[in-house]
Structure 1
Amino acid sequence: MKLVKLTAISAAVLASTAALAAEPVVVVDGDEAAVYQAEPVAVAYEAQPAAQYNADAGVVRNTTGAVVGGTKTFFNTALNPAAVSAEIGTLGYGANIAWALNDRVELQAGWAGGDVSDIKDNFDVNDIEYKIDDADFSNPYLGVQVRPAANWFTVGGGIIVPDNDIEVTANATGPNYRINNIDYASDDVGSLSGTVEHRNKLAPYLTVGFRPNISDNWGVFGEVGAAYLGKTDATVTASGTGNVSVTGGPDVDASVVAERAQKELEDKNWLEWMPIVKVGATYRF
């Protein structure tokens, strides 16, 4: 009977003290005493994720620790981007991948290009309108998107590596081409056609925009800004081969008209500062 009582008392005491990690339990029955060591209770902790989605800002919060925490977590972060985006704009059709450093900063790597003559079909150089016949654009870029207030408003900047070839044809105004306020008979000149290529191999850019979320994973964006692509190299030729009538002046050769149009085209500031206007959609992981 003593053994049964001792066993029952011991079980009750051990059950009531299960939350005590390593405190000894003493059970006394008459003149006899027994000492029991309580086993520590295992407590389960749920590990918090290293990255947490921020529905207001639309970015992945706090991956900085993963980037600097070690080789394994660095590669995990690099191989698991925060978002992918598709875009269309003045630089062409494209896409980018983004990695979030925190709820305000994302790094981006992307490309935009293709035939932009479908997006923009002409531009003006002083008094001549040029039609874009073909535009083979290639604009890989690296940049950063900053949310100053950790909301939908963004400021972006970075570097473009432009490789853009543009083929153009001049449209005459009435019976003349007007170049530097001088009128040349379009029938004598024939067609003026040429190519334009930017000199800069690296082009800095700056944009402002918005990136609201429409769900936990999907969002849209729009950006406006400019890229400094530098001066252009142009080549313009005239289909005419004879003399050209000049209003109020002596006749000139058609090749002279082409040279003057080429110089005017190379001096065009619109081509030096390329406007950036783009819209797109984003999927966030």
Structure 2
Amino acid sequence: MKLIKLTAISAAVLASTAALAAEPVVVVDGNKAVAYEAEPVAVAYQAEPAYAYNADAGVVRNTTGAVAGGTKTFFQTAINPASVSAEIGTLGYGANIGWSLNDKVELQAGWAGGDVSDIKDNFDVNDIEYDITDSDFSNPYLGVQIRPAANWFTMGAGIIVPDNDIDVEARASGNFFEINDISYNAAETGTLSGSIDHRNKLAPYATIGFRPNIGNNWGVFGELGAAYMGKTDATVRAVGDVDSIVNYTAENGTVKGTATRAEVAAEAQKELESENWLEWMPIVKVGATYRF
């Protein structure tokens, strides 16, 4: 009988946890009454994420939250090392995007081009000065920027895919066009115009530069270097009557003979191609960068 009473009382105690936390428990055993002081039981609960995996059920309870949370994390991870830059230089006007692998290495993909005749307007080949009258540059590139000391100093390298067309017009030096030590009468020769393009379809490049930060997100940069564009194809033609006669002289000033204007243009073309103007294309550029 005592066992039955104790069992019933124990069950009542377990079922009344709220009352146990505030009141003592009295157990009657025969003619004796014994009071027990119930101690409060502290139970800690930890909130689970809304999309936590339930190991017992084998499912994700909130798939929408899981996808949204994962997408946000992936987006933040992908975008935080990224940057965008705007630039101007000898390759043209352009922009690039970058992605930092770490504090020393950044991958870049960009494009520079447009009409660069207002950036560089002339060049010399021996004694003939050529004015750049028009140009159409397109230089997509892939490269890497390295910060050897993890500071503002950078070294760059990569590949350009050049597609650059340059229109030129020759100007005489004084009263003569000096071509291969022959002086052609400039007034009789008239205007010589032509075009240049590079043969290389892929052009490796290398640069050194600086990239200081001017805030949490903004920075500036400058680079110096060169790209190997390869040999050039050139065309030079006489404007007007190509069969008109031009007198030419040797260095001592004596008249050596005559040539047609078309023949003078052909000699200028040979000289221009032999010089391989811009076989090594100088790279000079400055710009600004925004880092996400």
State the TM-score, normalized to the length of structure 2.
Answer: 0.74
Contact 1:209–1:223 under 8 Å retained in 2? yes
Aligned match of 2:244: 242
Matches of 1:37 and 1:125 in 2, distance apart?
96
Contact 2:207–2:225 under 8 Å retained in 1? yes
Alignment equivalent of 2:271, drawn from 264, 273, 281: 264
Measure how far apart 1:145 and its partner are: 0.6
1:205 paired with 2:212, answer no
SS of aligned partner of 1:118: coil
Contact 1:157–1:207 under 8 Å retained in 2? yes
Measure how far apart 1:195 and its partner are: 0.5
Q: Which moved further from structure 2: 76-85 or 94-103?
A: 76-85
What amino acid is the match of 1:187?
Answer: A
What amino acid is the match of 1:160?
Answer: I
Q: What are the Cα deviations for residues 3-35 of structure 1, in whole angstroms up to 9, with x where unaligned?
A: 99963699xxxxxxxxxxxxxxxxxxx886979
Q: Which moved further from structure 2: 171-180 or 234-243?
A: 234-243
Matches of 1:194 and 1:220 in 2, distance apart?
38
Aligned match of 2:107: 107
SS of aligned partner of 2:243: coil
Aligned match of 2:219: 219
Measure how far apart 1:254 and its partner are: 1.7
Aligned match of 1:129: 129
Matches of 1:158 and 1:181 in 2, distance apart?
40
Measure how far apart 1:39 and its partner are: 3.4
Aligned match of 2:96: 96
Measure how far apart 1:176 and its partner are: 0.4
Aligned match of 2:21: 7
Measure how far apart 1:276 and its partner are: 0.3
Q: 1:215 to 1:262 in 2, by over 3 A?
A: same
Contact 1:81–1:97 under 8 Å retained in 2? no
Matches of 1:257 and 1:212 in 2, distance apart?
52
SS of aligned partner of 1:261: helix
Measure how far apart 1:278 and its partner are: 0.2
Measure how far apart 1:78 and its partner are: 5.4
1:278 paired with 2:285, answer yes
Measure how far apart 1:79 and its partner are: 6.0
SS of aligned partner of 1:271: coil
Aligned match of 1:16: none
Q: What are the Cα deviations for residues 83-113 of structure 1, in whole angstroms up to 9, with x where unaligned?
A: 1000000000000000111111111111100
Matches of 1:258 and 1:4 in 2, distance apart?
108
What amino acid is the match of 1:39?
Answer: V
Q: Which moved further from structure 2: 253-262 or 167-176?
A: 253-262
Contact 2:21–2:38 under 8 Å retained in 1? no
Provide the aligned length of Structure 1 versus Structure 2.
Answer: 241
Aligned match of 1:163: 163
SS of aligned partner of 2:167: strand
Q: 1:189 to 1:74 in 2, by over 3 A?
A: farther
SS of aligned partner of 1:267: helix
Contact 2:93–2:113 under 8 Å retained in 1? yes
Aligned match of 2:51: none
Percent of paired sites with the same residue:
68
Matches of 1:184 and 1:150 in 2, distance apart?
58
State the TM-score, normalized to the length of structure 1.
Answer: 0.75
Unaligned runs of 5+ in 2: 1-16, 25-33, 49-69, 251-255
Contact 1:231–1:272 under 8 Å retained in 2? yes
Matches of 2:81 and 2:281 in 1, distance apart?
29
Measure how far apart 1:263 and its partner are: 1.5
Measure how far apart 1:264 and its partner are: 1.4
1:252 paired with 2:259, answer yes
Correspondence 1:170-209 to 2 at 5 A:
170-209=170-209
Matches of 1:6 and 1:75 in 2, distance apart?
52
Matches of 1:141 and 1:209 in 2, distance apart?
17
Q: 1:103 to 1:4 in 2, by over 3 A?
A: closer
